Structure 1
């Protein structure tokens, strides 16, 4: 999903929250309240969106889940405030910067595991793991540069294959045509490993794949 689409969705949720606040009524026996049904829908939609973007362990998610449980105006106001913070982070590019840092740490762990597999004689799973790191890096680069990572088929979103992501990134000049050609070769080796064609490549080629992917992901970072 593109940044503009994310911002548009946040704006829709903020508008929903403002509509909930518009139901504010004063009760002599207990102060001000808002429509509980509308608030429940607004809270659920906000939590769903925040979880999809940040995950359920992020403070934004916890703030809404634990801090906006009731039907008071303050509950809706708190939820709206969190959504505005989310909007600011998305527009400012902070969302993808944070994801890039997290991704780099995860990639480093997987590369280390792949190196261990290779050192202990397991070239085939090492090649598959390294190829997985490369494919996810391509996907993250697409997100960073606002390139679609899915295609529509019969009304459903289908993830693009790594070769397509590679071509799209090169076309957008995120990296060079030479990089694109090298990545084609790396993905071909990964595919051979994934499809059991183990005799068509050597441990040395997997070692070169590992070092190449490490260099590429560091040079063309998310």
Structure 2
């Protein structure tokens, strides 16, 4: 799951080295200062922020520190900012390589999923099968989006993401068919068609989504 992200960390580390090679001294109003290729540096920052948001979330310490590190201090050169952001990025890469970033993100997400699926179960037991199926479908779609992020696959409709993930080998065709069946129930519920499925279908739907999360997002 994390191979694409690991590759991206390595690519951006190599780009950081290339930016370092552009360093040169220039004579300014306040004396000599070190500068770097601004366009390369700007592009690198955008790509790193996207990677950190995907790998560990926008509320993570690494992402927050990177955003703060972008702010220019008084009389500060681009090279000074590059050194600071480079250190933050390399710390994030070290944590990712050690298995800490993605695992933390998915741990938090798992807690959210557990809570939502518990809500779906309670709604079903109270006779609200439509609402239960819709919530379960939202959990599944969110999980597919996370898998797409981890495998550099663009977001899209549920059936499109399902097909792309299966095509990429993230899971097999049998799992793809199970997801399609779950999506059919979700769609019937979302369009207010309770006659198209029974309580047992929703019960199986919740079970299958739980199994999917354990298999592919644990």
TM over 0.5: yes
Counterparts of 2:146 and 2:58 in 1: how far apart (Å)? 20
Q: Deviation of residue 138 (structure 1)?
A: 2.8
Counterparts of 1:140 and 1:119 in 2: how far apart (Å)? 29
Give the length in aligned residue pairs: 209
Structure 2 match to 1:83? 89
2:110 counterpart of 1:114: no
Equivalent residue in structure 2 for 1:179, among 175, 178, 187: 175
Could you list the runs of 5+ residues in structure 2 that have no partner in the other structure?
none
Q: Deviation of residue 113 (structure 1)?
A: 2.0
Q: TM-score, normalised by structure 2?
A: 0.71
Q: TM-score, normalised by structure 1?
A: 0.70
Counterparts of 2:165 and 2:50 in 1: how far apart (Å)? 27
Contact 2:117 2:136 in 1 (8 A): yes
Q: Deviations over 1:158-200 (max 9, x none)?
A: x233223333444455444433322221111011112222321
Counterparts of 1:208 and 1:96 in 2: how far apart (Å)? 29
**Aligned pairs (5 A) from 1:179-198:** 179-198=175-194
2:209 counterpart of 1:213: yes
Equivalent residue in structure 1 for 2:200, among 200, 204, 220: 204
Contact 1:170 1:177 in 2 (8 A): yes
Equivalent residue in structure 2 for 1:62, among 64, 68, 81: 64
Could you list the runs of 5+ residues in structure 1 that have no partner in the other structure?
151-158
Query: How large is the RMSD of aligned CA atoms in angstroms?
Result: 3.8
